[in-house]
């Protein structure tokens, strides 16, 4: 890794490669009750202060709902080609079924106008974890009917905006919705039940398929796909136990979402291991789930380190840890992409998230986040390797444009390339934002 070249300009990538930054609605918008917005499961989850490390919530966040014009100007000033953001379902359909909220749609209408005016392409995610509370009250993602409600929502959004959006992803990281929302209660709705989490993952996949069908019927020019968080799983040692654990981890996480979409079934290894916790699948479900997607969004942060020993063999973390405690492991990105490319017939790939939390300090109007620059550079060099090995990667979105509400970590973890002072809402470009701007500006 240390021998890798770092790239100082975008010229080392294809000229039509898409460069962007990413955010999500709940993490930046705030205005959680404005203009008819209904509550989402994250509003409810935050209301129990014990759920969020700093006892905070998303009611103000980056106040992006009011400051979106300035924020679009800011991201356009960096010279990005595209902006990945999500729509808050309960803003446009307060209960998650029934009446639409025109004021909610107006906000996204204005946001899209602003992006178009600045020639920044819109990459929309329909679901970045903020289910309308009204649907949660009817069973949330454990209720199969929620998948049908999601398809209605996808249809309506695409009907209204499909011709102004470059790409629409159904879900962001359904692994997290299922495993953190229903598996270990770290995320909303805060359930810890393995069987439920596995059933939820099936309903999420089903909802993806139903939404794809509903959107396809509209023949909009937007590219349609899904965003998955993915990782390779490395055994800590050569022992059979570690290798088995790694194989299971890869099957239950990465393949669990890839196999249904690309092969029309669940991975045998994980299905067997889940035993009585395996999901209820109805006949025809896989036909709905397995249909062509125009792109696959891959969010890459780290690899899985698998040790069956007690105590576990420690992760080497030779390149250090981020402020989240996540291992910095750029070579996992080409390893993952090359492996996926061998296992599946992949559509074009976008790296829809990559970045790091850093203990940034604002001093004299500057933030010297050299670690973040090095992180991005090393991951771009690694990405280039994957492309050289034949993986069709079309774009890269840095997570995140702004420091924001990092879910159960609250505001303590800073992922932005732009610093946010939450007391004043002042935005300050960190060194990484200045670096990205120069990287993007230097065109052959």
Judged by CB under 6 A, the residue of 18, 19, 24, 230 near ligand FCB is 24
Instruction: For residue 413, give every residue at least 6 positions away whose Cβ sits within 8 Å of its Cβ, in sequence order, or none.
Output: 323, 324, 357, 406
CB closer to ligand FCB out of 58 and 334 = 58
Tokens (6 digits) for 419? 């610093």
How many other C-beta atoms are found inside a 10 Å radius of the C-beta of residue 436? 23
Nearest distance in Å: CB 175, ligand FCB: 9
Which is closer to ligand FCB, CB of 22 or CB of 214?
22
Alpha-carbon distance of 94 to 434, in angstroms, equals 39
Region near ligand FCB per CB under 6 A, out of 9-17, 62-70, 168-176, 358-366:
168-176
CA torsion, ordered 247, 249, 254, 257, to nearest 10 deg? 110
The catalytic residue among 166, 173, 327, 335 is 173
The interface with ligand FCB within residues 414-443 (CB under 6 A) comprises 415
Q: What is the 3-state secondary structure (H, E, C) of 216-278?
A: HCCCCCCEEEEEEECCCEEECCCCHHHHHHHHHHHHHHHHHHHHHHHHCCCCHHHHHHHHHHC
Closest distance of CB 298 from ligand FCB, Å: 12
Site string for ligand FCB, 224-263 (x = CB under 6 A): -----x----------------------------------
x/- map, 25-54, ligand FCB, by CB under 6 A: --x---------------------------
Build a one-symbol-per-residue string for 82-121: x at contacts with ligand FCB by CB under 6 A, - elsewhere. Answer: ----------------------------------------
Nearest residue (CB) to ligand FCB, 227 versus 374: 227
Closer to ligand FCB by CB, 129 or 436: give it.
129
Q: What is the C-alpha separation between 139 and 343, in angstroms, rounded?
A: 35
Residue 173, interface with ligand FCB (CB under 6 A)? Answer: yes
- Residue 88 phi, psi (nearest 5): -85, 110
Q: How far is 155 from 145, CA to CA, in rounded Å?
A: 16
Q: How far is the CB of 426 from ligand FCB (least distance, A)?
A: 22
Residues 6+ apart with CB under 8 A from 142: 182, 196, 199, 200, 203
Contacts of 232 (CB under 8 A, 6+ apart): 250, 254, 303, 304, 332, 335, 336, 339
**By CB under 6 A, residue 360 contacts ligand FCB:** no
354 is a site residue for ligand FCB (CB under 6 A):
no
Q: Is 42 helix (H, G, I), strand (E, B) or coil?
A: helix
Q: How far is the CB of 89 from ligand FCB (least distance, A)?
A: 15
How many angstroms separate the CA atoms of 395 and 109, rounded? 24
Determine, following the binding rule CB under 6 A, whether residue 406 of this chain makes contact with ligand FCB. Answer: yes
Question: Which alpha helices (H) appear in 25-144, and where do they start and end?
Answer: 25-28, 41-47, 64-77, 89-92, 102-117, 133-136
Q: Residues 105, 153, 399, 411: which binds ligand FCB (CB under 6 A)?
A: 399
DSSP label of 11: G
**Closer residue to ligand FCB in complex, CB, 233/398:** 398
Tokens standing for residue 31: 């205005």
- Beta carbon nearer to ligand FCB, 405 or 435: 405
Interface with ligand FCB: number of residues (CB under 6 A): 12
CB of 379 to ligand FCB, least distance (A): 14
173 is catalytic: yes
- Point out which span in 52-60, 147-155, 264-272, 399-407 binds ligand FCB (CB under 6 A): 399-407
Residue ranges binding ligand FCB (CB under 6 A): 24, 27, 172-173, 176, 229, 299, 353, 399, 406-407, 415
Catalytic residues: 173, 353
């Amino acid at each position: 890794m240390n021998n890798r070249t770092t790239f100082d300009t975008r010229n080392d990538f294809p000229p039509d490669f898409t460069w962007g930054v990413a955010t999500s609605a709940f993490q930046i918008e705030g205005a959680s009750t404005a203009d008819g917005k209904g509550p989402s499961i994250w509003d409810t989850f935050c209301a129990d202060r014990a759920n969020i490390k700093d006892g905070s919530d998303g009611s103000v966040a980056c106040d992006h709902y009011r400051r979106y014009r300035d924020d679009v100007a800011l991201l356009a000033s960096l010279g990005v080609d595209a902006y990945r953001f999500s729509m808050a379902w309960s803003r446009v359909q307060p209960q998650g079924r029934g009446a639409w909220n025109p004021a909610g749609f107006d906000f996204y209408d204005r946001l899209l106008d602003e992006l178009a005016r600045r020639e920044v392409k819109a990459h929309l995610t329909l679901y970045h974890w903020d289910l309308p509370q009204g649907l949660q009250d009817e069973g949330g993602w454990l209720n199969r009917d929620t998948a049908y409600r999601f398809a209605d929502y996808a249809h309506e959004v695409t009907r209204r905006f499909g011709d102004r959006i470059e790409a629409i992803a159904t879900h962001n990281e359904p692994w997290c919705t299922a495993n953190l929302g229903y598996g270990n209660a770290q995320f909303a709705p805060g359930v810890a039940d393995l069987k439920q989490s596995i059933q939820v993952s099936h309903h999420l996949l089903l909802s993806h398929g139903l939404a794809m069908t509903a959107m396809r019927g509209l023949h909009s020019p937007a590219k349609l796909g899904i965003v998955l968080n993915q990782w390779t799983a490395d055994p800590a040692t050569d022992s059979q136990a570690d290798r088995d654990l790694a194989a299971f981890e890869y099957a239950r996480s990465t393949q669990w979402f890839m196999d249904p979409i690309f092969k029309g079934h669940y991975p045998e290894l994980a299905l067997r291991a889940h035993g009585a916790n395996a999901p209820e699948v109805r006949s025809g479900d896989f036909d709905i789930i397995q249909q062509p997607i125009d792109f696959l969004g891959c969010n890459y942060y780290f690899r899985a380190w698998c040790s069956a020993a007690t105590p576990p063999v420690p992760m080497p973390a030779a390149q250090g840890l981020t402020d989240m405690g996540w291992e910095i492991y750029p070579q996992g990105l080409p390893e993952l992409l090359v492996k996926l490319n061998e296992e599946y017939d992949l559509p074009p790939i976008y790296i829809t998230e990559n970045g790091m939390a850093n203990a940034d300090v604002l001093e004299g109007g500057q933030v010297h986040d050299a670690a973040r620059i090095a992180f991005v550079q090393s991951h771009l060099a690694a990405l280039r390797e994957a492309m050289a090995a034949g993986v069709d990667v079309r774009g890269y979105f840095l997570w995140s444009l702004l420091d924001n509400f990092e879910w159960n970590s609250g505001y303590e973890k800073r992922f932005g390339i732009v610093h946010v002072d939450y007391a004043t809402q002042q935005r300050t470009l960190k060194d990484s934002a200045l670096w990205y701007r120069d990287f993007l500006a230097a065109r052959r």
